[in-house]
Chain A
Amino acid sequence: MSAVAKDFATDQHPRWCPGCGDYAILAAMQAFAPDLGIERERMVFISGIGCAARFPYYMNTYGMHSIHGRAPAIATGLAVSRPDLAVFVVTGDGDALSIGGNHLIHALRRNVNIKVLLFNNRIYGLTKGQYSPTSPLGTVTKSTPMGSVDWPFNPLSLAIGAEATFVARAIDTDRAGMLEVLRAACAHRGSAFVEILQNCPMFNDGAFSSVRDDKEGVNRIVLRHGEPIRWGREKEKGLRQRLDGSVTTCDGDDPDVLVHDADHVTPSLAFSLSRVTQETHGGTPVGVFREVQRPVYDDLIAGQIATAVEARGEGDFAKLLASGETWTVEP
C-alpha cells in the first residue's frame, strides 16, 4: 500500500503559534511527500534553530533538529556519505542568512544534492521579535526601536550569486504554486533553494500581504519557463529586459515582453528577476527563477572513489601500512 499524507504526520503536535504560515507549509509537504515516490525511511529533514527548525519533528521520516545555522553543513555530510537518501534542509531567514550564511552559500556553490526550504518571515520569531537579515531597512522591532539600519539580504539574489543551480520562490498561502515549486525542486539533481514567503502573525504580521492575501493573484508574477512574463488582472503588465540586463515593467502586450528562460546558463537573467519586488515593480515573482544542470558534488565525490578503485584496486590495508620503506628485525 502506498503512503498517504497522514503517514507523514508524527504523534507530536506542532507548537507553532495559531495562524503561523508554517502550518500551511507542513500540510503541503505532508500531502506532497507521498507523490515523491521515495520511501519514508529514505527521506531526511535537517534543520537548524528557529520556528521553522521545528519542522522535522512533525515529519514522520528521519530527521535532525540541529544547531543554529549549521543545517546545510550537517546535510552536506549526510548527503555526501549517503547518496541514496533524499535530504531536505528546513531553515528560516535568520538561521540561513545570518548565523548560517556561510554554510548556505557553500552548499549551494558545491551543488550538494540537498533541497533547502527557507521560510522567510523577515523577523526573529522564536526569540520574540528582533529584526532579521531580510527585514527592510527601518524595520522597528524590540532590538531596533528607531528602525533597523542594515540593508537586508534578498535571499534569491544571494542564492543566485552563489550560483545555485535551482532557485525558486513560493508563498505559504498559495498551495498550488508551492506544490509546483516543490515538485520541480525535488526533481532537480543538485542543490535546490526555495524561498517560501511566510507570515509571522505574532511579530511581523502582514509582511508579505500584497501577495499572500492576493486572492486573485494580481500581484503575483508567475514565472514559467518558456512563457512570457505577464501579470495583473488582464495580464496587462509585463517585464522586459533593458540593455544593461536589468528588468523593467512594460505593457503586457509589448512585443519585447520577456520570455522566461530558467535554463539560461548564466545566472544574469535570474538575478535580474530576483530584483523585481512589489515596491519597485508592482509585483512579486514566484515560481522557478533558475534551473540549470551542473555536476553534483556528491556524485563527483562518489565518482572519484570509483575511479580510484578502478585505477588502484580496492584499498589493501596491510599493503598501505607497509608502504614506504620497511625493514625487518629478526628474532
Chain B
Amino acid sequence: MGSKPVEQLSQVIVRFAGDSGDGMQLTGSQFTSEAALLGNDISTLPDFPAEIRAPAGSLPGVSGFQLHFADHDILTPGDAPNVLVAMNPAALKTNLSDLPKGGTLIVDADAFTERNLQKAGYETNPLEDGSLDEWHLEPLPITSLTIGALKEVEGVTPRQAERAKNMFALGLMSWLYGRSIDPAIEFLRARFGGNAPQIAEANVRAVQAGYALGETTETFAVSYEVKPARLRPGTYRNITGNQALAYGLLAASRVSGLALFLGAYPITPASSILEELSALKNFGVRAFQAEDEIAAAGAAVGAAFGGALGVTTSSGPGIVLKAETVGLAVMLELPLVICDVQRSGPSTGMPTKPEQGDLLLALYGRNSDSSVPVVAARSPADCFDTAIEACRIAVKYRTPVYLLSDAYLANGSEPWLLPLIDELPEISTGLATEPNADGAYLPYLRDPETLARPWAVPGTPGLEHRIGGLEKADGSGTVSYDADNHELMTRLRAEKIAGIAADIPELAVDDPDGDARLLVLGWGGTYGTIMAACMQVRLDGRKVAHGHLRHLNPLPRNAGEVLRRYERILVPEMNLGQLLKIVRAEFLVDAVGYNRVRGMPLRVGEVAEAIEALMEP
C-alpha cells in the first residue's frame, strides 16, 4: 500500500468531546503526551462537568479536552478547535458552536441513535439532515469498528470492548497527525497490564485499529504533520498546574530545609495537590487530610509553629473557611502558605470551571487591618516558580502568603523546561537558637531590615515563649491592650508586608517598540491569552504594551510609575473588575476593564477586540 501524502501544518487545535464515561480526559492527555514527545509546543484545556457521571448521553454529562499543538511557541489552548471529535450527539450539540465553519468534524456515527438524539434534544439526525453541511463532516462507525476489532481478544465483554472506543479515536487522530502510538500502548500496558491484562490488550488493539483505519480508509486522503517547536534547549516534560504547584512546594521545602506539612480537605479543583503530595512520602512529606477546611489550615499553622513549612490548599468555598486561621497567622507572624485554586463562585458555584474571583478575598478577606502577601501563577508550569516564591516570602517575612491559581491552570498543561536543582532560589529560615535580648528571648523583636520577627521552634532550650491571637506587646510579645502599642503593632505589621516590595522584581512591560500608548495589565492565568491577543493586535501594525502581575500584594514598587506612563490602561480579568478596582484605588489611574465570567478562560480574539476598541481609530 502506498503511503498517503503528508501536509504540513504549523498548528492544530483538537477537541475531544464525549460522555463523562467515555474517557475523553484520558484520550486527550494521551494525545498530549504524543504531541509533547514529538517536541511540539502544547497547551491544553480540559473541560469537564463537576458530576462524576451525569446521565449518559445527556448534555450536562459532556466532558471535553482541548489540545493546541504547534511548531512554534504557543500561549493558550486556543479559542476555537480546528478539529472536533464528538463521540455522541450531546457532545456535538454542546461543542459545535465553538467549531468554525469549515472545521473538521469527526463523529461516532454509531452513537447517533434515536434515543441519544432525543437526549441531546435533536429532532432530526444532524448527520443526515444537512445541518452540518458547512463543516467538513466525517461520520465513522467508531463503536462498531472498535467492537469488531476486539472480537478476538479473550475475556473482553462486548461492553468492555465498546468502552475502548475512545482509544480507537486516539489511534485514528494519531495517524491523522503523524504521531506514534507507541507511548499510548506503553501507557495502557503499564496502567492496566498488572491487574487487568485483557483490558490493557483491548485498549491497545483499539488504538492500533484506529491507527490502521486512518492508513487504509479512503475517508482521509492526507495526513498532517506539525513539526517540533523551536523551544529553548533543555529537557522538557508536560506538566499540569497542580502538579507543578505540588513540586514547587516540595522544592521550597528542600531549599529551605523545612519539612513540608500539607493540611488539606478534598475540594475541586485543588484535590490533586493533596493527592500528589500524599504520594511523596519518601520525601518526608506529611500530607494531612483534615476533618474540614478549618482544621486543614489550623494543622498547617500548628506544624509551622513546630518549624515545618506549613501549607494549606483549597478553592474558594474552602478558602473562606480559612480566613480566621490566616488572621491568626498574621498575628502570630508565622509562615503559612495558602493555595487557592480559584473556581467559579460564589458559594459552590461551578466547581470545575475557572474564575479569578478570589483576588479581593485574598487581599482583604479578614477582620481588621491584616495585610497578607498575594502571588498569582500565570501558566501551568509557572505554578512551580510561584509556589517557591510564596514559600520564600512566607518564610523570610514570617507571614501567611496567598498563592492564587485557578481551575484552568490546575488542570491545563504545557511543556515545562525542567529547572536545574542547583539554580532554585535560596530560602533561608534563620531559625532562632539563642536569646536575643541580654539573655532573654523576645519573640517580637524584629529584624530591622525585613521587620520579620525571630522564629524559635519548640525543642529549643531557653527560648520558651507563648504567642497567640491577642495583641502583642512590641518586642516581648506578651498580651497588651495598650492603645499606643496597638497602633504601633498595626502599622508595623502593615509596613512589614509593604516592605516586601523592595524584595520582588519590578513590573516588566512587554512593549516591543517602547512607544505604545495603551497598556494591557493582567494577573494570573490570563497571561497567555493577553500576550497572544497583544501579538495579534501588533500583527495589524498597532502598538500595545503588556504588563502582567505575579505579585498582587505588595505590588511591584514601580507599578504606579509604569501605569502612569500610558494613556490608556485595559485590565482584562475573569471577574467583574477586581484588579481594576485595586489599580484605580492605588494609583488614581483611569483604567478600564474587560471582564468575563463564563467559567472559561478569556479568548484571544475577544481580548484583541477589546484592545482595539480602546485604541483611537
Residue A318 lies at the interface, judged by CB distance under 8 Å to chain B: yes
Contacts of A257 in B (CB 8 A): none
B residues 443-500 with Cβ under 8 Å of A? 458-470, 478-479
Contacts A106-B295, A324-B238: A77 and B263 contacting too (C-beta < 8 A)? yes
B74, chain A: closest CB distance, angstroms: 15
What's the nearest-Cβ distance from chain B to residue A121, in Å? Answer: 21
Which of B234, B280, B466 is within 8 Å of A64, CB to CB?
B466
- Looking at B233, B290, B299, the one whose CB has the most chain A CB atoms below 10 A away is B299
Q: Which of B294-344 contact A (CB under 8 A)?
A: 294-296, 298-308, 310, 324-325, 328, 332
Which listed residue (A39, A106, A328) contacts B234, Cβ 8 A?
A328
The docked-state distance in angstroms from the alpha carbon of A65 to that of B302 is: 11
Number of A residues with CB within 8 Å of any CB on chain B: 63
A330–B228 Cα distance when bound, in Å, is 11
Q: Is the CB of A74 within 8 A of B237?
A: no
Contact B302 A75 (CB under 8 A): yes
- Pick from A74, A75, A315: contact of B284, CB under 8 Å: A315
Contacts of B247 in A (CB 8 A): 320-321
User: How many Å from the CB of A99 to the closest CB on chain B?
Assistant: 10
Within 8 A of B (CB), among A303-331: 304-305, 307-309, 311-315, 317-318, 320-331
Q: Are B302 and A41 in contact (CB under 8 A)?
A: no
Report if B283 contacts A (CB, 8 A): yes
Q: How many positions in chain B have a CB within 8 Å of any CB in the partner chain? A: 69
Do the beta carbons of B36 and A325 come within 8 Å of each other? yes
Contact status B462-A41, CB under 8 Å: yes
| B292 and A67 contact, CB distance less than 8 A | no
With A39-B461, A301-B286, A315-B280 in contact, do A74 and B291 touch (Cβ < 8 Å)?
Answer: no
**A77–B288 CB distance below 8 A:** yes
Q: How far is the CA of A138 from the CA of B459 in the complex (A)?
A: 47
Q: Is residue A184 within 8 Å, beta carbon to beta carbon, of the partner chain?
A: no
Give the residues in chain A near B463, CB-CB below 8 Å: 41
Known A67-B328, A305-B282, A328-B236; judge A78-B306 contact (CB<8 A). yes
Does A330 contact B281, Cβ atoms closer than 8 Å? no
Tell me if B189 is interfacial: C-beta within 8 Å of chain A.
no
Contact B254 A81, beta carbon cutoff 8 Å: no
Distance between A300 CB and nearest chain B CB, rounded to angstroms: 11
Residues of B within 8 A of A72 (CB): 295
Are B325 and A67 neighbours in the complex by a CB distance under 8 Å?
A: yes
Indicate with 1 or 0, residue by residue over A20-52, a CB within 8 angstroms of chain B CB atoms. Answer: 000000000000000000011111101001000
- A60 on interface, CB distance cutoff 8 Å: yes
Given A77-B298, A326-B235, A67 contacting B324 (CB threshold 8 A): yes
Q: Which residues of chain B come closer than 8 Å to A320, judged between CB atoms?
A: 247, 250, 280, 283
Tell me, yes or no, whether B430 is within 8 Å of chain A by CB.
Answer: no
Collect the chain B residues with CB atoms within 8 Å of residue A65's CB.
466-470
Taking CB atoms, residues of chain B closer than 8 Å to A323 are 237
Q: Which of B231, B259, B299, B458 contacts A73 (CB 8 A)?
A: B299
CB-based contact B303/A77 at 8 Å:
yes
Residues of chain A whose beta carbon lies under 8 Å from any beta carbon of chain B? 10, 12, 39-44, 46, 49, 56-57, 59-67, 70, 72-82, 84-85, 102-103, 106, 301, 304-305, 307-309, 311-315, 317-318, 320-331
A41-B458, A301-B288 are known contacts; what are 16 more A-B pairs with Cβ within 8 Å? A41-B464, A64-B466, A76-B299, A81-B302, A81-B308, A103-B298, A106-B291, A314-B283, A315-B282, A317-B283, A321-B247, A322-B235, A324-B237, A325-B33, A327-B236, A329-B228
Interface on B for A, CB 8 Å cutoff? 33, 36-37, 39, 183, 228, 230-238, 247, 250-251, 254, 259, 261, 263, 280-284, 286, 288, 290-292, 294-296, 298-308, 310, 324-325, 328, 332, 418-419, 421, 458-470, 478-479
13 sampled A-B residue pairs with Cβ under 8 A? A10-B466, A42-B458, A64-B302, A70-B295, A74-B298, A77-B263, A79-B302, A81-B261, A82-B459, A308-B282, A313-B282, A324-B237, A325-B238
